[in-house]
């Protein structure tokens, strides 16, 4: 089922994201982490995509395994990086056969450690991928007559490659116009950035659901990794101050990070967020604590089977 259909019936949504394992053994461990979170019955789980092809088959296999052996609704990421049209079409056909309902269409990160020439990619920007998936949808190959639901990324703090915020919003509006049904944001730590982004979307006549991306900090090393992966995330001074007070106590760092994320979620829910997407870093403990503390009733298995 399309995410937008789910949101019409159940809003706000709650979802989890996992990044692809690098080995079959790691894939098995991750699968069990996902099964641990299955009892929370999220509205969907997303699986990211390795740049340059290093983990792509593991991603495809994991997505299909989730689809066929759990009650969860997996949404795979699909990126422009190192792909031609034939490869993307083959992946779409594979997911169609497994009745995957939604895809996140992303530009993708530049692969590391390999000789990469972006000019060789068939899809230079995420909008090109959105258009291609929409064209595939129109072929009628998918069991849902509308084809795949298409999600794209949003950047509350600004896209790192587009300093001009007006131009950035033009690009986002173009992706929605090309066929995107919903937006999942990059992680952020100041909710004011999200509310400003949501309002600018409305002013730009972008009216698709916007799901907020939240990542609880669980370690000082994780904080530094987040800053690198997110292209320079802004960390509020009050968060940094709290972390500095306990930086030599890993357990207290984790508690501070989880508490901060929990406060963010409460505030988002109070301000009518369409959904919250947890970047789990492939661990279930912090997400469990936040989810339990939000007091969200568990969805019934019967509901999940209709999703």
Active-site residues: which are they? 17
Helices (H), 235-300: 237-245, 250-270, 285-293
Q: Are 256 and 223 in contact (CB under 8 A)?
A: no
Nearest by Cα to 212 from 153, 280, 282, 172: 153
Cβ neighbours of residue 15 closer than 8 Å, sequence gap 6 or more: 42, 43, 44, 45, 46, 75, 211, 275, 276, 277, 278
Cα–Cα dist 96/5, whole Å: 18
Name 280's Cβ contacts closer than 8 Å, sequence gap at least 6. 16, 17, 18, 33, 37, 286, 287
H/E stretch holding 34 reads: helix 24-38
SS3 content of the chain, % helix, strand, coil (to 5): 50, 15, 35
């Amino acid at each position: 089922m399309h995410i937008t259909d789910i949101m019409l019936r159940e809003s706000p949504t709650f979802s989890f994201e996992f990044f692809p394992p690098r080995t079959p053994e790691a894939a098995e461990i991750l699968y069990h982490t996902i099964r641990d979170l299955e009892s929370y019955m999220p509205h969907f789980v997303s699986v990211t995509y390795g740049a340059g092809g290093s983990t792509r088959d593991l991603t495809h296999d994991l997505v299909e395994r989730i689809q066929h052996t759990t009650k969860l609704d997996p949404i795979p990421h699909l990126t422009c990086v190192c792909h031609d049209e034939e490869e993307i079409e083959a992946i779409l056909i594979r997911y169609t056969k497994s009745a995957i309902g939604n895809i996140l269409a992303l530009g993708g990160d530049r692969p590391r450690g390999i000789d990469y020439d972006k000019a060789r990619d068939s899809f230079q920007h995420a909008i090109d991928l959105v258009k291609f998936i929409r064209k595939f949808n129109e072929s009628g190959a998918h069991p849902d007559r509308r084809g795949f639901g298409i999600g794209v990324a949003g950047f509350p703090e600004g896209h790192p490659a587009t300093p001009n915020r007006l131009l950035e919003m033009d690009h986002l509006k173009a992706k929605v116009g090309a066929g995107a049904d919903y937006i999942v944001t990059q992680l952020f730590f100041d909710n004011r950035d999200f509310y400003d982004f949501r309002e600018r979307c409305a002013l730009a006549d972008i009216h698709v659901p916007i799901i907020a991306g939240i990542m609880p900090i669980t370690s000082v090393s994780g904080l530094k990794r987040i800053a690198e992966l997110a292209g320079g995330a802004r960390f509020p001074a009050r968060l940094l101050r709290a972390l500095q007070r306990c930086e030599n106590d890993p357990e207290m760092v984790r508690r501070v990070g989880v508490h901060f994320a929990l406060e963010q979620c409460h505030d988002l829910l109070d301000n009518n967020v369409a959904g919250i997407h947890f970047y789990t870093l492939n661990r279930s403990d912090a997400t469990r604590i936040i989810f339990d503390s939000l007091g969200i009733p568990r969805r019934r298995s019967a509901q999940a089977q209709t999703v």
